[in-house]
């Protein structure tokens, strides 16, 4: 995992576990709980709450909408679900790669001229309009 730099406190954490002990994360948790209820967003429990990252793209500079409150049970179920999704994606990718290799043979496109073809004839109706 890459090092995590907290943008407001300028802390640099080598691991995610170290990041969870940082001042930045503690402040972010306080900010979240001040604006949101201390309840699990899935089951409504008020015991053994965890703050879960919906996305890990902005760790160290996360937005409040990137976080959700989950009880310990729902939190572990969420991570099991996410890990199962990762494994299924890994299994599907080799098949897609094989199909893509077979489909890589592309048909040659016809070359189009870089200019518009001139119009040499007008419709008879147009010619009749301009007769004197």
Please tell me which residue, 87 or 62, carries the higher pLDDT value: 62
d(CA 40, CA 73): 10
Residue 55 scores a pLDDT above 90? no
- Work out the average pLDDT over 58-67: 88
d(CA 66, CA 127): 68
**Choice among 29-33, 70-74, 93-97 with the minimum mean pLDDT:** 93-97
d(CA 30, CA 64): 11
One DSSP character per residue, 37-73 reads: -SS-TTT---SSEEEEES-STTTTS--GGGEEEEEHH
Residue 94 scores a pLDDT above 60? no
- At residue 58, the pLDDT reads 86
- At residue 105, the pLDDT reads 58
- At residue 3, the pLDDT reads 84
- At residue 34, the pLDDT reads 93
Strand pairing report for 4-5 and 12-13:
antiparallel
Provide the residue ranges of all domains of the chain, joining segments of one domain with +.
Answer: 4-89
Please tell me which residue, 94 or 2, carries the higher pLDDT value: 2
- Work out the average pLDDT over 10-27: 89
Please tell me which residue, 95 or 65, carries the higher pLDDT value: 65
Residue 6 scores a pLDDT above 90? no
CB atoms within 10 A of CB 25: 22
Give the CATH architecture of domain 4-89: 3-Layer(aba) Sandwich (3.40)
Q: How many residues are given for the chain?
A: 132
- At residue 57, the pLDDT reads 86
């Amino acid at each position: 995992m890459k090092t995590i730099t907290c943008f407001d406190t300028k802390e640099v954490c080598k691991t995610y576990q170290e990041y969870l002990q940082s001042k930045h994360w503690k402040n972010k948790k306080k900010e979240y709980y001040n604006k949101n209820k201390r309840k699990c967003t899935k089951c409504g429990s008020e015991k053994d709450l965890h703050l879960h990252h919906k996305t890990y793209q902005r760790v160290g500079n996360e937005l409040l909408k990137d976080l959700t409150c989950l009880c310990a049970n729902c939190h572990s179920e969420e991570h099991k679900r996410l890990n199962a999704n990762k494994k299924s994606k890994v299994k599907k990718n080799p098949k897609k790669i094989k199909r893509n290799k077979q489909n890589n043979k592309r048909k040659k496109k016809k070359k189009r001229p870089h200019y518009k073809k001139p119009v040499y004839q007008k419709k008879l109706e147009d010619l009749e309009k301009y007769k004197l």
